[in-house]
């Protein structure tokens, strides 16, 4: 049996300005996601947690906490952008052009805007991407730019994966 290594993410050398990554996973946002996230972050705005209140707004239903949307879309981009991150340096130009509602499914993509060597750390490079999240109808719900320090190939810590034991009798 041939064991094949799974995707380990991009290293600094793999980024090219203009490349676009279609992130592979979509995620349907649930009422539980919205309630738990607002509770975890102590967001007390009733538009997120009070369905009766939200029904009286122009939206007619709860809005998903926008910081959940930022966290979700950032997370969706990790496999392509920051699997080999040394550090996040910042999120800029965050825009929320359309609301997210419970039941929406969010997808995302990122475009490489810049990639340069680090002046202070020879083991990493600095990459900036513009990431967009969109719902099941193709409506863009969030855009932002994120800058990360990414390890160069051969400089990232090793991921330790122990070998599984063979079951007895096999």
Q: Which helix (H) or strand (E) holds 106?
A: strand 105-117
| 23-61 pLDDT, tens digit each | 999 999 999 999 999 999 999 899 999 999 999 999 999
Among the residue ranges 109-123, 125-139, 156-170, the one predicted with the least confidence is: 156-170
Rounded CA gap, 23 and 89, in Å? 21
pLDDT at site 4: 76
pLDDT tens, position by position, 59-118: 999 999 999 999 999 999 999 999 999 999 999 999 999 999 999 999 999 999 999 999
Domain ranges within the chain, ordered by starting residue: 12-151
| pTM, to two decimals | 0.91
In the CATH scheme, what is the homologous superfamily, with its name and number, of domain 12-151?
A: Hotdog Thioesterase (3.10.129.10)
C-alpha distances out from residue 142 to 66, 122, 129, Å: 9, 33, 14
pLDDT-derived band at 166, boundaries 50, 70, 90: confident
Taking the C-alpha atoms of residue 144 and residue 140, their distance in angstroms, rounded to an integer, is 11
Backbone φ, ψ for residue 9 (5° rounding): 85, 170
What token pair was written down for 133?
């999240």
């Amino acid at each position: 049996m041939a064991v094949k290594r799974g995707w380990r993410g991009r290293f600094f050398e793999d980024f090219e300005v203009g490349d676009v990554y279609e992130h592979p996973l979509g995620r349907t946002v649930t009422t539980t996601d919205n309630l738990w996230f607002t509770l975890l972050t102590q967001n007390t705005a009733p538009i997120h947690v009070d369905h009766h209140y939200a029904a009286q707004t122009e939206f007619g239903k709860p809005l998903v906490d926008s910081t959940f949307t930022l966290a979700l879309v950032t997370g969706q981009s990790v496999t392509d952008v920051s699997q080999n991150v040394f550090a996040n340096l910042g999120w800029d130009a965050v825009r929320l052009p359309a609301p997210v509602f419970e039941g929406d499914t969010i997808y995302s993509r990122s475009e490489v805007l810049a990639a340069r060597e680090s002046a202070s750390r020879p083991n990493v490079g600095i990459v900036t991407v513009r990431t967009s999240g969109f719902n099941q109808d193709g409506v863009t719900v969030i855009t932002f730019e994120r800058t990360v320090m990414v390890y160069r190939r051969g400089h990232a810590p090793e991921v330790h994966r122990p070998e599984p034991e063979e079951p007895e009798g096999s």
